[in-house]
Amino acid sequence: MKPRVIAIDDDEMFLTGTKALFNEKQIPLSTFANPEKAIRAIDEAKNSGSPFKMAIVDYDMPIKGNEVVRSIKKIDPSIHTVILSSSLSAEESSLCNRAGADHIYLKSKSKERILLLAEIASLKVKRGKLTKDEKEANNEWIKKTLNLRGHSTGLAKVASEVSKYAQAGESVLITGQSGVGKEQVARSIHNNSDRNGAFIAVNCGAISKDLVESELFGHLKGSFTGASNNQTGKFVAAHGGTIFLDEIGEMPLDSQVKLLRVLQEKEVYPVGSTKPTKIDVRVVAATNRNLAEEIKKGNFREDLYFRLNILPIQIPTLSERPEDIEPIAKFIVDEKNNETGLEKHITDDAIKLLESFAWPGNIRELNNKIRKAYTLADSIIDRSHFTSLVNSDDLEGVINEISKMEDFMSYEDFVENHRNRLERLYLEKAMVLANGKRAEAARLTGLPYTTYIFKRKSLGLTVNQNQ
């Protein structure tokens, strides 16, 4: 087996020890004390069709590690690069990030540190383009578990988590951008469980602040103005089943206190009642907000966060799994053909175009665009049907579509809203071009890696995928 990992270090003893431990893990390792020879070897490996997957680079060499990484990334941006250094200043770390380093670790001759690198290398060596059989297996698993279409490793991971969590009774917190399919994943948790009660979905952001408790816990007749009848709350309606609290980050703080008590005591008090009602409900919550940041701002209770986040699931964005676009697109077209009795077809060229888009609205946006293109097309859906749709989403179109005075934003709100939209689109497009690799996306934008990650966080984009 040809080595898929390369170590570059002018310390021969360190290389010898590293190679021995990698051999124990059955991971062939190429070692080079000369950076220039190592870079030539990386170039030759790529040209031969057996490229390296990972490079371990010492920073403190005659040619500094950041320059070595920069040369490696020019040859093959997909190579996962790890820089080791006995000590690194903040400025040097920034240089390494800008060069495209994926990780920086304190150099140590300890067995534990080298074994950590071996574990990372093992994952990188195994990861690559899926074979046809692997795609089919993932597709069946995702379809069976989530009732979604796709074959990406990221979505298969979500399916595995759903399968594991379904039979548990603990709360689940689903995070991900708007449009990634959080409600469908929540339904899948319920459908794969043995709970016989109903699945009740509640959009916490769509309920008036004054009515949140009434909606969730119910109320008695006359308990407040407008309460003309007794009302059963969503929690009681979900008894024996699952309640899905979508957009949980929008819930008012005073309602969060009462929700926490319900989770702890497993009983609800309808508004106006002093008698509790016992409930057996599985809670699945979802948000597109960064709740850790909301806690710092004082907008979300930390104790409620820990109560909800027992079993976390993060759904990757569509830009992080563009390989799912083709099966999703073809499924939507097939679904429309079944509805209409027609036999329309989407071209491979159109799918390639769709795979190049950033899709800030994720699957929901993709679904809407394909359905509109289907309506406009005769028998063949080609790329022209999508270029026109995307061009119609410019700011001029947004402004011209405003027809009511009450929908017209202030100047400051409009500029801020669309500045954020464009920033999100820009950062996601970098992720698409970088095939979901954060360090490479940062390099494309010219931003330091830490700045790129911070901007993604601040704009509500995912940052903690295993990349």
Question: 466 falls in which pLDDT band (50, 70, 90)?
Answer: very low
Which has the higher per-residue pLDDT, 467 or 207? Answer: 207
Average pLDDT, the chain: 84
Query: Which residues in 10-150 belong to E strands, given as ranges?
Result: 29-32, 54-58, 80-85, 103-106
Q: Are strands 218-219 and 231-232 parallel, antiparallel or unpaired?
A: antiparallel
Give residue 388's pLDDT.
57
- The model's pLDDT over 199-247, given as tens digits with 9 standing for 90+, comes to 999 999 888 877 788 888 887 876 676 666 778 889 999 999 999 999 9
* 3-class SS shares of the chain: helix, strand, coil, % to 5: 55, 15, 35
Cβ burial, residue 237 (10 Å; 0-12/13-18/19+): middle
In the structure, what pLDDT confidence band is assigned to residue 374 with cuts at 50, 70 and 90?
very high
pLDDT at 332: 96
131 pLDDT above the threshold of 60:
yes
pTM of full prediction above 0.85: no
Q: State how far the Cα of 412 lies from the Cα of 409, in Å rounded to an integer.
A: 8
pLDDT of res. 391: 46
d(CA 94, CA 451): 10
Task: Indicate whether 363 pLDDT > 80.
Answer: yes
Quote the radius of gyration of the chain (alpha carbons, Å). 26
Tell me which of 229-243, 331-345, 394-408, 431-445 is least confident: 394-408
Cα gap 212→408, rounded to integer Å: 28
Lowest-pLDDT choice from 278-287, 347-356, 389-398, 431-440:
389-398
The token pair that represents 37 in the structure block: 């020879």
Residue pLDDT, tens place only, 176-200: 988 999 999 999 999 999 999 999 9
Q: List domains and CATH numbers for the chain.
A: 5-126 (3.40.50.2300), 166-316 (3.40.50.300), 319-393 (1.10.8.60), 397-458 (1.10.10)
